[in-house]
Amino acid sequence: MFAEKRNRRSDMMWIYILIFLLTGSRGMAQGTTNSNIIVNTTTSPLKVYVNRNEAFNLGSNARLICSNKIWTKAVFVIWNIELKHKTCKISFNHEGQSSNSCNDGKSLQNSTDQSFLHIPNFSVNDVGVYKCESAYTGGNENYNITVGVTAPPVVSAWLERRGNKMVAVCRAERGIPAANISWSVTGNHSVTQQNNPDGVVTVESQLEVPEDIDRENLTCIVRHQLWEGERTLVPDFLPEGISIFYFIPVFGIIFILVAGFSIYALKKVILLRQCQQTDSPKSPPQTEDVEEVEPYASYVQRVNSIYN
């Protein structure tokens, strides 16, 4: 009897170890995650509680796994999703019944061995808390997953002349979270951060370049959570041709040409109409009414015949 209890405790211990290892392997597949597992052995059936943090790249197809159990052995799976602007619920059971109140592309899908929550084109609107309860024969598992979003920034660097000073600018645009910018040389510098409404962050650092610094030794170093290493940029002056001020004279010349052509065409139309009016034929002379002349002629003829 004591041997049976020892074997049972040994089996339970291996189950706990297996759950921990599988949860950790899922965290490595999704990125950097933090997990906290609590196993309740005082009651029957077995209950497992897991708290986990996950983050997905902006625009990627995210996959959240609730349990390591084979989906064919699940009695039911329920996802309660708490987002910034709404809450919704997705569930299914072993009888084939399912429900989905999210209506934003999220869906439960099944792979060869387990079910998962599919989130297409992950955005800042999908950030929130995802609570999953999975029941199976012999126990259930409860996952509380805090989901965030990440996005690599777009980096650039250049030099500007401001009066008698030279300023180096380094920018990391539309990153989540904010990038970190540093310089290879020390000097008077400032950092500004812009938080956009869509959740992305733009960081810009400006350095007043000392006069005794060789430009070839001046570099900007950008670090971000998604990168394994750092990005190094060498700032240089922008080509002058891309300045919008150089296009202002061109726009002025084009405007003058278009205006002159319009005035010339308008004058041509006016002269053409005047010529048409001058060349039009005169109205023919009016003919006398024959009926009015004939009675007078017959009268004169009669008078002459009487005198004759």
Is the same domain home to 167 and 39?
no
- Quote the pLDDT of residue 47: 82
Is the same domain home to 125 and 69?
yes
More confident residue, 129 or 137: 129
Is the same domain home to 167 and 87?
no
Is the same domain home to 16 and 126?
yes
User: What is the three-state SS of the chain?
Assistant: CHHHHHHHHHHHHHHHHHHHHHHHHHHHHHCCCEEEEEEECCCCCEEEEEEEEEEEECCCCEEEECCCCCHHHEEEEEEEEEECCCEEEEEEECCCCEEECCCCCCEEEECCCCEEEEECCCCHHHCEEEEEEEEECCEEEEEEEEEEEEECCEEEEEEEEECCEEEEEEEEEEEECCCEEEECCCCCEEEEEEECCCCCEEEEEEEECCCCCCHHHCCEEEECCCCCCCEEECCCECCHHHCHHHHHHHHHHHHHHHHHHHHHHHHHHHHHHHHHHHCCCCCCCCCCCHHHHHHHHHHHHHHHHHHC
284 confidence band (pLDDT: 50, 70, 90): low
Is the same domain home to 251 and 199?
no
Is the same domain home to 90 and 167?
no
Is the same domain home to 164 and 41?
no
Is the same domain home to 37 and 59?
yes
Does 61 have pLDDT greater than 80? yes
Is the same domain home to 68 and 180?
no
- Quote the pLDDT of residue 43: 53
Is the same domain home to 129 and 191?
no
282 lies in some domain: no
Does 290 have pLDDT greater than 70? no
Query: How many structural domains are present in the chain?
Result: 3
108 lies in some domain: yes
Using a pLDDT cut of 90, give the percent of the chain over it.
39
Q: What is the arithmetic mean of pLDDT over 206-220? A: 87
Lowest-confidence segment of 4-18, 122-136, 171-185 by average pLDDT: 4-18
Does 233 have pLDDT greater than 60? yes
Q: Which domain holds residue 261?
A: 245-274
